[in-house]
Amino acid sequence: MKRMLRSLFVTGLAGLALAACGTPQATPEYPGEPLLTLSGTVTSEREVPLPSTNVELVWLVPRPGKNLIVAESVPVEGQFPSHFKLSLHTPPDEGSLAQTPYGPIGMAYIGVFDENEERFVGAAEEYVMAYLPEPVEAGSVFSKWLDEGGGARAISAGYHLIHARAMTEGEYRKYQDCIAHATTPAEREACGDIYDTLTVVDENLDTSIKVRIPNDPSKLRLPQFT
């Protein structure tokens, strides 16, 4: 079932919606209490600085073609490493959500996206963002996917920061060996997959997100959840 969910996002990088967070519902002067606030640091390894840097949520939209929706982001100013804080006051636009057999869900990268080149030049390599319009029960398909590392707990509706743990070299070798010796589809299924293990971050934790801007964007490792 996790494989089915991931397949919905396979074409996602061809259709990215940039931080489509809607319009504040309070007033322009006071947008209200944030639903979630992301904070962290941005480090740059570039030999030639970027003309400007914004940290954004980049929603993965499983639809054909390209669909870039630019809305809320936060500029990063000053010298690196630099701190950022991105407050989310409204749910993502409905167009940023994937419609799955198990209900709608939004998945987003946290990063610095070059719209002209249509690629990431910086990103959080260990975190992604999820949005659930409705709560999900413990042990459900969504909880097994989003909280595999946490034991597939119940997840409330709303925004959730998700930690993405990549395979270690030892785990990858073990996976390759398992696949090499599997002779049936059931045995190959039992080997698992090479995607990152996702875990919902405890809301009470003050998590600092690290966004890295490498000198060569091809050296950036985006979380592998699809």
Alpha carbon of residue 81 to chain centroid = 22
CB 159 within 8 A of CB 35: yes
**Domain-embedded: residue 87:** yes
How much is the pLDDT for 17?
61
Mean per-residue pLDDT, 175-187: 94
Q: Residue 224 contacts by C-beta under 8 Å, 6 or more apart in sequence?
A: 164, 166, 194, 195, 196
Residue of 71, 122, 119, 114 whose CA lies nearest to 96: 71
Determine the structural domain holding residue 65 and report its residue range.
Answer: 2-168+199-214
**Per-residue pLDDT tens digits for 57-89:** 888 876 665 554 444 577 776 667 889 888 888
Can you say whether residue 103 is alpha, beta or left, with left for phi > 0 and alpha for psi between -120 and 50 degrees?
left
- How far is the C-alpha of 201 from the C-alpha of 113, rounded, in Å? 24
- How far is the C-alpha of 109 from the C-alpha of 165, rounded, in Å? 14
**Per-residue pLDDT tens digits for 129-169:** 999 999 999 999 999 999 999 999 999 999 999 999 999 99
How much is the pLDDT for 146?
96
The pTM of this model reads: 0.84
191: phi then psi, degrees, rounded to nearest 5:
-70, -15
Number of domains in the chain: 1
Per-chain mean pLDDT for the chain: 83
- pLDDT band for position 4 (50/70/90)? low
pLDDT at 10 over 70: no
**Domain-embedded: residue 180:** no
Helices (H), the chain: 2-8, 141-146, 169-181, 185-190
How much is the pLDDT for 16?
62
Residue 116 DSSP label:
T
204: phi then psi, degrees, rounded to nearest 5:
-80, -10
**Domain-embedded: residue 222:** no
**Domain-embedded: residue 36:** yes
**Other residues' Cβ atoms within 10 Å of the Cβ of residue 126:** 18
**Domain-embedded: residue 143:** yes
**Domain-embedded: residue 141:** yes
DSSP for 62-114, written as a single string: -SSS-------EEE--SSSSEEEEEEE-SPPPGGGSEEETTEEEEEEEEEEEE
Task: Pull the structure tokens for residue 154.
Answer: 């119940």
Task: Pull the structure tokens for residue 197.
Answer: 């293990």
- How far is the C-alpha of 112 from the C-alpha of 122, rounded, in Å? 5
**Per-residue pLDDT tens digits for 16-49:** 666 544 444 455 555 678 888 889 999 999 988 8
How much is the pLDDT for 1?
52
- Beta strands 103-114 and 73-75, pairing class: unpaired
**Domain-embedded: residue 219:** no
How much is the pLDDT for 25?
46
Residue of 43, 125, 123, 55 whose CA lies nearest to 88: 55
**Domain-embedded: residue 205:** yes
